[in-house]
Structure 1
Amino acid sequence: MSVATAPARKTAGQSFSDWANAHRKWLFAAPAMIFVGILIIFPVAWTVYLSLTDASGSVRADSDFIGLENYLSVLTDTDRFWPAAGRTAYFTVTALAVEMVLGMCIALLLWRPFRGEKWVRVAILLPLVATPVAVGMMWRLIFDPNIGFANQMLGWVGIPPQPWLSGVESALPTTIFIDIWQWTPMIVLILLAGLTSLSEEPDEAARIDGANAWQRFWYVTLPLMMPTVIVAVLLRSIDALKTFDILYATKGKGGGSFNEVETLNIYAYGLSFDYNKYGLSSTVLILFFLIIVSIMFLLTRRRKGTP
């Protein structure tokens, strides 16, 4: 007569091994996630703390806790904060709109193979090679009102010299043009990757039904490309909101003598390093951070199709 043997009980080591094997993807990623989390949480927490104090002169100097006083001061500042916020919105929306339209047009041109395609792609991507500071300095020389090549070209066709970066009204549109010149290629890359991944069957079916090129693009290609378009808008809008290098390289402190290109980034930088008002600067940065997070949240929801 055989006696049934009870199953052996797992040891603590075996139980942990089974648990670790079931959650191995999280365990392998945990060190990197913790490290990145610390890099994000600590600066944000420290900036929030500074925004609630009257820190100035030095971040190590004694400061008093003043609560939301800095936020009230910044949000009621109609001389610098709100104009800077308006310029930030204008810069971002205008640059993004033009870059998306140009990027889509160029991506559609590069979608189908043609002779010399590789050389054209290399030429289009050249603006991405240089750093934003180098690009800003280059265009600053080109748009110089006295010796700049831009005014020389206008003179060849009888157009009087333009102020470009030196004009109060023309400075911000000129910096937007520089941003468009440098970052449109990135939009082209993203959209071209989306176009090459599309199936040709819907386009062929629309062609057979008699749809012209515009109808095929508007009713077939563009709806299929919307997830990729939203990704491009998400990435570029966040990057455009944070633009600092080009603006500082072309106009310097304060965004010019009359703050003509002063965005929130330039404004916060000036409060910190020109006036040493770290409490107010931190407040501007936190408000700016909340704006960026809100935009990310809205675009992410739109990409997922949630109302």
Structure 2
Amino acid sequence: MSSLALDKPAPQAATRPARDGWRSGSYWPFVLPALLVVGSVIVFPWAFTLWMSLHEWQVGGGSSFVGAANFMRLFTDLRFHEAIVHTLVFTALAVLLPLVLGLFSAIVFHQNFKGRGFLRGLFVMPMMATPVAIALVWAMMFHPQLGVLNYLLSLVGIPPQLWVFHPATVIPSLVLVETWQWTPLVMLIVLGGLAAIPTEPYESARIDGATAWQTFRHITLPLVMPFIMVAAIIRSIDALKSFDIIYAITQGGPGTASETINLYLYSVAFAYYDIGYGSAIAVVFFLMVIGLACLLLWLKQRTKWTEVGVGA
């Protein structure tokens, strides 16, 4: 019996390398279709865009290779420089305000009070509407003579404003629309973070006599910071590529006062039919989005609970 027991594992050991070899290549028939789809849907369009950016290509005409001439043209394009400034200002405001208001709203809705569920549902309704519908409603509200916003200002003695019809106020007005629509998203993300915070630190702070501000500063804010960074990443990328609301309300006006990179890219490619130069703008804009995403992901890695707790 001992000799039989020793002989039994031998066939299994002999067949194991063959099985492992079979398994190592068995996944390719399943992975290959996904790779083909990703390559055709994502990789090929960007490769073709890069190819177009190296050519002078007008719609209806032929294309000619110009190398980096389209990219060099960006350095002297003052309208492109202005669009970069508008994009950065709009993105910074459209991220900062929803983060602040969303954090405050999450703290409020985290408390127990009557009608909290109904008010939560009412608060998140703006982000469920389509951007074009929101833009049309706010465009009517921004009207200098017929808009309800100037009527509300008149009730408190404030003179009427031009809102999106003046270069100095058009971007803050558009940020107001973005803030109204996307503050609920930040609130939901932070609210999930608040629900995950343990109660022991708050009980210890209450015993030590900490004030409400001290509790928020040294407990709530550090522990919820990873969730705030997640909301910041989502909002930054979304605000950076915002197009529909801006185009539906101002079309980049008055003049070019609210023209972001997206709107300028659209004008170059589909209004002036300069596909080559528009592709160069798209490539540069794509690199900007990748750079911002990498920066935010790096910042997110520095807001882990353990590191924040040590820094606090």
TM-score clears 0.5: yes
Matched with 1:40 is: 42
- Correspondence for 1:7 among 3, 8, 11: 11
Question: How far has the Cα of 1:33 moved from its partner?
Answer: 5.8
CA separation in 2, counterparts of 1:98 and 1:75?
32
Question: How far has the Cα of 1:126 moved from its partner?
Answer: 1.1
Matched with 2:143 is: 144
Is 1:232 aligned with 2:222?
Answer: no
Matched with 1:69 is: 69
Matched with 1:274 is: 271
1:108 counterpart SS class: helix
Is 145-154 or 226-235 further displaced after alignment?
Answer: 145-154
Q: Residue type matched to 1:54 in 2?
A: E
2:176 counterpart SS class: helix
Question: RMSD across aligned C-alpha pairs, in angstroms?
Answer: 2.4
1:7 counterpart SS class: helix
Matched with 1:52 is: 54
1:193 counterpart SS class: helix
Matched with 1:100 is: 99
CA separation in 1, counterparts of 2:257 and 2:106?
34
Matched with 2:307 is: none
Matched with 2:294 is: 297
Is 35-44 or 267-276 further displaced after alignment?
Answer: 35-44
Is 219-228 or 264-273 further displaced after alignment?
Answer: 219-228
Matched with 1:246 is: 245
2:198 counterpart SS class: coil
Q: Residue type matched to 2:239 in 1?
A: A
1:154-203 CA distance string (max 9 Å, x none): 23344332111111211111111111111111110111111111111112
Matched with 2:306 is: none
Q: TM-score, normalised by structure 1?
A: 0.89
CA separation in 2, counterparts of 1:108 and 1:168?
36
**Closer/same/farther in 2, CA of residues 199 and 36 from structure 1, 3 Å limit:** farther
CA separation in 2, counterparts of 1:257 and 1:153?
24
1:127 counterpart SS class: helix
**Closer/same/farther in 2, CA of residues 167 and 34 from structure 1, 3 Å limit:** same
CA separation in 1, counterparts of 2:259 and 2:90?
10
CA separation in 2, counterparts of 1:83 and 1:292?
18
1:119-138 CA distance string (max 9 Å, x none): 11011111012111111110
Q: Residue type matched to 1:145 in 2?
A: P
CA separation in 2, counterparts of 1:202 and 1:258?
54
**Closer/same/farther in 2, CA of residues 204 and 31 from structure 1, 3 Å limit:** farther
CA separation in 2, counterparts of 1:32 and 1:300?
26
1:64 counterpart SS class: strand
**Closer/same/farther in 2, CA of residues 112 and 179 from structure 1, 3 Å limit:** same
Q: Residue type matched to 2:284 in 1?
A: L
Higher-helix-fraction structure: 2
Matched with 1:286 is: 283
Question: How far has the Cα of 1:299 moved from its partner?
Answer: 1.3
**Closer/same/farther in 2, CA of residues 27 and 57 from structure 1, 3 Å limit:** closer
CA separation in 1, counterparts of 2:97 and 2:140?
24
Query: Would you say how many aligned residue pairs link Structure 1 and Structure 2?
Result: 298
CA separation in 1, counterparts of 2:128 and 2:106?
19
**Closer/same/farther in 2, CA of residues 213 and 34 from structure 1, 3 Å limit:** farther
CA separation in 1, counterparts of 2:31 and 2:134?
37
Stretches of structure 1 that go unaligned for 5 or more consecutive residues are: none
